[in-house]
Chain A
Amino acid sequence: GENVEQHPSTLSVQEGDSAVIKCTYSDSASNYFPWYKQELGKRPQLIIDIRSNVGEKKDQRIAVTLNKTAKHFSLHITETQPEDSAVYFCAAPRPTSGTYKYIFGTGTRLKVLA
């Protein structure tokens, strides 16, 4: 299968707090795990990604962790700010027919309360 489960579907945090979003994938052929942010009325944009040969990657306030054995990966946002409010999607692209079948998780709507 190629499902990607994502939790929670909505998340509200106070400004300055941390937010964690988790995804679980099923296809062991996946080796690249990106996270996209989609602000209201805008296109999805990559914010961070991780490959299967590392367990954690950090970029300023955002980090991604990967547990390949358990087939799950998480997005961590620290010191949240109002501009972090958006919908976040994970993905676990599957190599298929010479390209990638890019299926997204169900999304998490993050609200950062000022």
Chain B
Amino acid sequence: DTEVTQTPKHLVMGMTNKKSLKCEQHMGHRAMYWYKQKAKKPPELMFVYSYEKLSINESVPSRFSPECPNSSLLNLHLHALQPEDSALYLCASLGGTGELFFGEGSRLTVL
């Protein structure tokens, strides 16, 4: 299995809602990433987990809360988001050769 699976594919939420994005990989990779991607822009690093511990937080607002329940799962909890947070959220895992394996992304719209 060489896939990174993200759910949901699409999410629409209001500014007062609480929702979660989920990411799963079964390749045995020990580092997992969250990126935010706006249209016509590169993926922007948000968080990195290594061996289930948060290693990198790129000064992301606290309305985004990551969680790594185990080495295969990565969640991104969303609360009190703003319309400007609407974007494609990409999860990725780091292979042994240095390659990042991306999921298809969750397209988030905040109303």
Contact = CB atoms under 8 A, between A and B. Distances in A.
Interface stretch (B41-49, B60-68, B78-86): B41-49
A101 B93 CA distance: 12
B55 A43 contact: no
A43 B104 contact: yes
A49 B96 CA distance: 13
B98 A99 contact: no
Interface in A55-114: 89, 93, 96-107, 109
A103 B98 contact: no
Contacts, number: 62
Interface of A: 32, 34, 36, 42-46, 49, 89, 93, 96-107, 109
Given A93-B98, A97-B55, 5 more contacts: A96-B56, A102-B33, A104-B42, A106-B41, A109-B40
B43 A97 contact: no
B54 to A, nearest CB: 9
Interface residues of B, number: 23
B105 A101 contact: no
Contacts of A100: 31, 48, 94, 98
Interface of B: 31, 33, 40-43, 45, 48, 50-51, 55-56, 90, 92, 94, 97-100, 102-105
A102 B45 contact: yes
A44 B28 CA distance: 20
